[in-house]
Amino acid sequence: MFGTICWRLGSKRETQQDIFNAMGSMYAAVLFIGITNATAVQPVVSIERFVSYRERVAGMYSALPFAFAQVAIEFPYVLIQTLFYGTIFYSLAAFEWSATKFLWYMFFMYFTLLYYTFFGMMTISITPNHNVAPIIAAPFYTLWNLFSGFMITHKRLPGWWRWYYWANPMAWSLYGLLTSQFGDVDEPMKLADGVSTIRVGTFLEEHFGFRHDRLFFVGFMVVGFSMIFAVIFAFAIRYLNFQRR
């Protein structure tokens, strides 16, 4: 569906609006699929958690191995999802067929969907059930959306709010996705006035603050958010008990 909506947007880079359109296609996909993953995993983890209470009392296994097993099983599931979605969308959106750019795209999509999934699991682990967890998660989705850098770039944010942009996992995902595809492009593009031109990579750096030479650091940050949410989930399962007697 996203591929047909964003048909060949990735191949257009002649104007400022073309870059915004390409970024919008990435933004919409990350937000929609990510929140879907986080929401879908919550009732499953909630049921398994209450089953684990009985098994732990019976001495079958302890909390941390159970929690990390739940984390581990998500890696292949999300990988399959990323391969199916990423290949189809990348083809239909007609991004540049370069092995490096394709692998970077898959890398950022994989860990983005992974941290959304782990975030959904984390919200379940710190709340009593899957009815409360979405209520806790919803404000974070709103803030991630607002401070993602798509609607308001971090350069236009007030100084006292810029810290949250850098603490926002979705901002790092968009940074990586857009920069990996267009950050090294030397072709000129027209600005919004229709007259002035600028190199695509330079525009990303001046308008969004996205630098191609920081791509590896951006990748490290996206992986880091995935690990943080997974570890919080595991230790919340270990130390929080919502069992009712």
Question: Tens digits of per-residue pLDDT, 193-241?
Answer: 777 778 887 888 888 888 888 899 999 999 999 999 999 999 998 888 7
Residue 6 pLDDT level (bands cut at 50, 70, 90)? low
Residue 3 pLDDT level (bands cut at 50, 70, 90)? low
Give residue 107's pLDDT.
94
Residue 26 pLDDT level (bands cut at 50, 70, 90)? confident
**How many other C-beta atoms are found inside a 10 Å radius of the C-beta of residue 142?**
10
Instruction: State the chain's mean pLDDT as an integer.
Output: 85
pLDDT above 60 (res 82): yes
CA angle 4, 7, 11 (to 5 degrees): 155
Give residue 4's pLDDT.
64
pLDDT digits (tens, 9 = 90+) for 55-81: 776 667 777 888 888 899 999 999 999
Residue 38 pLDDT level (bands cut at 50, 70, 90)? very high
Better-predicted residue by pLDDT, 170 or 197: 170
Give residue 110's pLDDT.
95
Q: Report the DSSP beta bridge partners of residue 197.
A: 190
pLDDT digits (tens, 9 = 90+) for 105-155: 999 999 999 999 999 999 999 988 888 888 999 999 999 988 888 888 888
CA–CA separation, 109 and 211 (whole Å) = 19
How far is residue 241 from each of residues 50, 135, 206, measured CA to CA in Å? 9, 19, 49
Q: State the SS3 of 120-142.
A: HHHHHHCCCCCCCHHHHHHHHHH
Residue 245 pLDDT level (bands cut at 50, 70, 90)? low
Pairing of strands 197-199, 188-190: antiparallel
Indicate yes or no: pTM above 0.85.
Answer: yes
